[in-house]
Amino acid sequence: MVDFTLSDENRLVQQAARAFAEAEILPHIREWDEKGEVHREIFGRMAEQGFLGAPIPEAWGGAGMDYVSFAILCEELERADTAFRVVQSVHVGLNSLALLQWATDEQKTRWLVPQAKGEKLATFGLTEPGVGTDAANLATTARRDGDSYRLNGQKIWISLADLADHFLVFASVDRSKGWRGVTAFLLERGMAGLTTGTLHGKLGIRAGNTGVIHLDDCVVPVENRIGEEGEGFLIAMSAIDQGRFTVAAGAVGLAQACLDASLKYAHERETFGQEIGRHQLVQQMLAKMAAGTEMGRLLVWRAAWLKNQGLRNTRETSLAKWHATEHAVQSAMDAIQVHGANGYSNEFPVERYLRNSKAAVIYEGTSQLHTVIQAEYALGYRQDKPLRCEPLPAQGWERPAGR
């Protein structure tokens, strides 16, 4: 039976995350966003709270949160600003949880533990110029050279690119094999041939770092390979399930922020002798915001429940991501409309919400991709085996038979 009653732990996480956001982010975010400033010291304070290892077991340096708590954490952080949920998505969802599932114990000790403790910051390098959603057709190559690989290529739109210490990077050992040639590697800053840069001029998420990774004959030891040759695509897709989950949860927080700001303004602003909240067409926008946000939250919590049970949740996570991110964009549009001309000014937060909301309908699978995914599930063209994954019963992915 699915039970969405929050546990005492869930409520404590919610309180701690909200208090953190109100103390550390909200007083400064307008200035940081306006100036495009990235404050890494905030990530250090997030680590002190256990946020950077939220769902990682305590045995590997994490906080051992369940997935409902992890969703609540992402929601509360993005309710303040998207840039800080992005850290949860990339450092935790895409990188650390992938290591938890696919890395050897030696690799976990070397890389996962310091990441979970927040001593090292991590990112995920899959997206390439000219590749985008076609992740099985990577141009980045990895050539075996004795006890090492030589990686060449470029990754783009990489969150935390100029801040990260660890990089989970995907390259093809044989492009003729398509997705079966994709292989995963853990790179460390300082490796010869690895350089990074920052992208400027972004529409939103200006308080977060986004950049590029250049690999120029980068020598990577064999022991830095995660999984076997050819398992990289499975590793990437299982990681993206986790990333999509965090994006969906964060989008619920952004939609909630839009609703909170709009409700406050609807009580304060008066026209024709009464609060604008009394006008039915304003109420219509507020009602849509409230309903869609609750729907998104329930979809996220359903995916979280499945994760806690160790059941495959690709379909449910895709649906949550699709609905929640599209709803966040619409909520931001409506929030600006409720605010009228004031919504067009950064005197109010809703214009930042709109700018931040747009990225999430592009990354972790565009809305168009999720439309196709959901249609194919509905039509029966796409089915997931109800796999369990031991010893990590969180995603339902496992290695192919015979590996």
Active-site residue list = 364
Kindly report whether the peptide bond that precedes residue 57 is cis, defined as omega within 30 degrees of 0.
Answer: no
Tokens 């600006």 locate to 336
Helix (H) or strand (E) holding 215, with range, is strand 210-221
**Other C-beta atoms within 10 Å of 210: how many?**
21
Question: Among candidates 268, 270, 266, which has minimal Cα distance to 285?
Answer: 266
> Buried b / exposed e across 42-62, counting CB within 10 Å, b at 16+?
bbeebbebbbbbbbbbeebbb
Closest to 249 (Cα-Cα) out of 312, 320, 333 = 320
Q: What are phi and psi of 134, to 5 degrees?
A: -80, 65
How many residues can be counted in the chain? 403
Encoding tokens for residue 225?
A: 């390979």
Tell me the one-letter amino acid at 170: F
Q: Token digits for 152?
A: 């060449």
Nearest-angstrom CA–CA distance, 160 and 352: 20
